[in-house]
Amino acid sequence: MERRFDPANPEWMDRPQPVSPELISDLRNLRSLNRWFGSYRLVRHFLRRWIRPNDKLRVLDLATGSGDIPRLVVEFARERRAFVQVDAVDFQESTVKIARDLSADFPEVTFHCADIKDFGEAASYDLVLFSLALHHFKPEDATSLLRRCRELSRGRVLVADLRRGWLAKVGVDLLTATIFREAMTRNDARVSAERAFSFRELRDLARAAGWENFGHRRFAFARQAIWLE
C-alpha cells in the first residue's frame, strides 16, 4: 500500500478556521479514538518507565491538538507524586483555545500557539512527545522534525503515530462509516490512514534524522512508536 500525500490538500483540521461546533466535535472524536484505540495505552507504557515518585520534569508536547496527551501526562505524574511542567504546542489558534478551555484544571500545562518546527531551545526538556502528527508532513519535513525532537530533549523522546497498512485503512473506514461519521473526522481519519508512514519508513526517517540506538516497535490498532532514552 503506497503512501498518498498531497501537501496542497491539508487535512480539514489543519486549515485556518475559527472555533466551531465542527472543530469541537472533531477534536472530541480524536480524544475518543486516542482513548479506545491505543494512543493513551501507548503513552502510559513509556510514562511508567520514565516518571518516578518525586521527579521534577519539564515536558514538551508537539502538535498537541486539544491537549489530551498533556493532561494524561499530568494525571499520571499526580498519581506517581511527581511534578511536571508541560509546554503544549500547536499552530492552530482555534485548536489551542479549545485545549486551554479543556485544561482549566491543569495549571501544570502551558499552551503555545506556535510553529513546532522552530519552537523551544536545545536540550531544554526532559521528555519530548510527538503523537499522531508526523504523518501530516512530507518526508523531508518529518525528518527535520525528528531531528528537532532529539535536539530539544535532554535524553528522552517518544514519537508515536499510525502505521500504514491495510489493517489501518479497513479499520478507519469501518469506524468512520459506523461510529465517527462527522464529516471532518471521516475525511481526516481516512486521509491520515493513507498518509501514515509504514514501519520501515518511520525507521528510515529516524536514521536519516541522526537517531542512534533508538527503540522502534509496533503497538495495537495499527500504532507504532520510536523512542530515545
DSSP characters for 151-207?
A: HHEEEEEEEEEE--SHHHHHHHHHHHHHT---HHHHHHHHHHHHHSPPHHHHHHHHH
Mean pLDDT by 10-residue block, N- to C-terminus, for the chain (229 residues)? 88 94 96 93 97 98 98 98 98 98 98 96 97 96 98 97 91 91 94 96 98 97 96
Judge whether 176 lies within some domain.
no
pTM score: 0.95
Indicate whether 172 belongs to any domain: no
Summarised one tens digit per residue, pLDDT across range 110-145 is 999 999 999 999 999 999 999 999 999 999 999 999
Beta carbons of 63 and 131 less than 8 angstroms apart:
yes
Residue 173: inside a domain = no
Residue 202: CATH number of its domain: 3.40.50.150
Distance between terminal CA atoms of the chain?
32
**Domain that residue 82 falls in:** 20-164+198-228
The verdict on residue 45 lying in a domain is yes
For residue range 27-47, list pLDDT tens digits in order: 999 999 999 999 999 999 999
Residue 135 CA to residue 197 CA, distance in Å, equals 6
For residue 45, the 8-state DSSP code is H
Would 29 be classed as within a structural domain?
yes
Asked whether 64 and 70 are in contact (CB, 8 A), the reply is: yes
Would residue 191 count as lying in a domain? no
Distance between CA atoms of residues 34 and 197, nearest Å? 18
Task: Return the pLDDT at 167.
Answer: 84
Residue 179 lies in a domain: no
Residue 115 lies in a domain: yes
Number of structural domains (the chain) is: 1
Residue 28 CB-half CA count within 13 A: 11
pLDDT of residue 220: 92
